[in-house]
Structure 1
Amino acid sequence: MIDQFLWVILPYLCIAIFIVGHIWRYKIDQFGWTAKSSEFIEKKYLMIGSILFHFSVIPVFFGHVVGLLVPARWLEGIGVTNHLYHLGALYVGGFFGIVMLIGMFLLTLRRVTNKSVRRLSSASDILVNFLLVFITFMGVYATLVTNNIVVDFDYRQTISIWLRGLFVFSPDANLMTDVPLAFKIHVITGFLIFALWPATRLVHAWSLPFLYFNRSYIVYRKHKS
């Protein structure tokens, strides 16, 4: 019963909240569809952390897409053997995962240690920061540690097949039974962040700045007292 809840009911519940929540948020809060800027309060940690996070989040995202949604036999069909894939996941995925973790750690440290930034932050901002740090840490730990300890485990034969089953409405919870704990925690917290997404500043990820390079400059003048 617990397995059915964790690997069938909970994922669909989080996906439903993600979709319906975004529609609701857009209808009632279009002016809040952004992230509050705190650049004028503190720049150093913001710049370093933001660059590291945004530099790594895209390859991490596409790494998950390839590893979870593309069947192993498809990759083998184009010459990417199981050994070659795992080398890429370990070294390339591990590298970008560590960079992302450092970036999120700096952004979270800035948010909780800088009094002015903390006062500007909502409870959801702080929750999302800590959750993203935890999710990233568990992903890096699972990739670099668990994969080397549980050498006979292959998430492409368990987690990937289970996840693809969700999209065709036939998830097999039994596939997750023997998955190592680190991977289970990473998956569950990943779905939880999707459920929280529409109620937090994460919605700004969908606001692509297409007009950014054509906008007029903002002129700031120092007040002379």
Structure 2
Amino acid sequence: MTHLRIALWGVLPYLALTVLVAGSLWRYHYDRFGFTTRSSQLHESRLLGIGGPLFHYGLIFVFAGHVIGLLVPESWTDRLHIGESFYHANALLAGGTAGLAAVTGLAVLLWRRLRVPAVRRATSRSDRAVYPLLAAVLLAGLTVTAGGALPGAYDYRTGVSVWFRSLFTLDPQVTLMAQAPVTYQLHALLAMALFTLWPFSRLVHAFTAPLGYLTRPYILYRSRSRTTPYRHPASPPASGKPRRRPPGRKTATRPATPARPLPEHAPRGRDGRPERG
């Protein structure tokens, strides 16, 4: 059992991180143009416009909540005079709302992918593996968040958070994670599996988020002048009628070329006029 704990909570996190970083670098080097969502907006846009923002914005706030909950020690919030009950109430409200938004958006996107034939045909093998895993991670996270609101609930800040921060010091405290409730362990294992598949799926496009658009200058668009010169159409009208010249416009005429004078010794015909060769 001790070896299994070490493998799950002392080796597997580093293995998942190595695959995530190395796989992303490898794909960027050999498949740079594959960093795309393979958008299917042309096939269907109404459901995509509903589920896409819900899923993405919800996921952003879920990620921010995990960063605060796992990386910020409890001593820091105590110095800011943030009580334990107030902290967990806000975590439940913000985390629960963001998690519900992400799950709802993902459900809409999955329904769209199953019901629209063109979108279903565009689903790759990696999508079929990533979507159920992503749904399982979100549902497990919602279960953990809801369980934290119960009286006498497990305080992850003294267990899971300490184990997570110990990974960065290369001294993982596997006992803390091994003593955590099963829901927390399942959530962590599913997340590590998702990070392992991340570089080989469309989720890799998250590393190419256009953050530069937030700071770039505005683009100025200038309209064409209203007094544009008249241009004849490239082809005659279908009716076959001759084109009508617009009023007030003169047609340029080419001056006639004068006849070239003939030399005096040029041959003449029977009528005595010079012949033109």
Same fold (TM over 0.5): yes
2:9/2:178 contact within 8 Å kept: no
Counterpart Cα distance in 1 of 2:203 and 2:6? 29
Instruction: Write out aligned runs for 1:1-225 (5 A).
Output: 1-144=3-146, 146-149=147-150, 151-209=152-210, 210=212
* 1:131-169 Cα shifts (integer Å, max 9, x gaps): 11111111011111x224572410011100000001110
Identify which range, 91-100 or 11-20, moves more after superposition.
91-100
1:108/1:126 contact within 8 Å kept: no
Identify which range, 111-120 or 205-214, moves more after superposition.
205-214
Q: CA deviation at 1:116?
A: 1.3
Aligned residues: CA RMSD: 1.9
Q: CA deviation at 1:186?
A: 0.8
1:108/1:130 contact within 8 Å kept: no
* 1:42-69 Cα shifts (integer Å, max 9, x gaps): 1122111111012212221111001001
* 1:151-190 Cα shifts (integer Å, max 9, x gaps): 2410011100000001110111110122111111111111
Counterpart Cα distance in 1 of 2:187 and 2:93? 19
Q: Percent identity?
A: 37
Look up the match of 2:232: none
* 1:80-108 Cα shifts (integer Å, max 9, x gaps): 22111100111111111111110111112
* 1:8-51 Cα shifts (integer Å, max 9, x gaps): 11111000001110110011001111110100111122111111
1:56/1:100 contact within 8 Å kept: yes
Counterpart Cα distance in 1 of 2:155 and 2:42? 46
Q: For residues 117 and 215 of structure 1, do their structure 2 counterparts lie closer, same or farther at Cα, with a shift above 3 Å needed?
A: farther
Counterpart Cα distance in 2 of 1:189 and 1:129? 12
Counterpart Cα distance in 2 of 1:207 and 1:49? 21
* TM-score for the superposition, normalised by structure 1: 0.90
1:112/1:126 contact within 8 Å kept: no
Higher RCO (Cα < 8 Å, 6 or more apart): 1
Look up the match of 2:240: none
Q: What number of residue pairs does the alignment pair up?
A: 215
Larger-Rg structure: 2
Aligned residue type for 2:205: H
Instruction: For structure 1, list consecutive stretches of 5 or more residues without a partner in the other structure.
Output: 217-225
Counterpart Cα distance in 1 of 2:174 and 2:151? 20
Counterpart Cα distance in 2 of 1:215 and 1:83? 51
Q: For residues 203 and 15 of structure 1, do their structure 2 counterparts lie closer, same or farther at Cα, with a shift above 3 Å needed?
A: same
1:57/1:100 contact within 8 Å kept: yes
2:144/2:183 contact within 8 Å kept: yes
Runs of 4+ in 1 over 3 A off after TM superposition: 210-216
Q: Which structure is higher in helix share?
A: 1
Counterpart Cα distance in 2 of 1:215 and 1:193? 42
Counterpart Cα distance in 2 of 1:214 and 1:205? 25
1:52/1:99 contact within 8 Å kept: yes
Counterpart Cα distance in 1 of 2:14 and 2:21? 11
Residue 39 of structure 1 aligns to a residue whose secondary structure is: coil
Residue 184 of structure 1 aligns to a residue whose secondary structure is: helix
Q: For residues 89 and 7 of structure 1, do their structure 2 counterparts lie closer, same or farther at Cα, with a shift above 3 Å needed?
A: same
Counterpart Cα distance in 1 of 2:89 and 2:130? 31
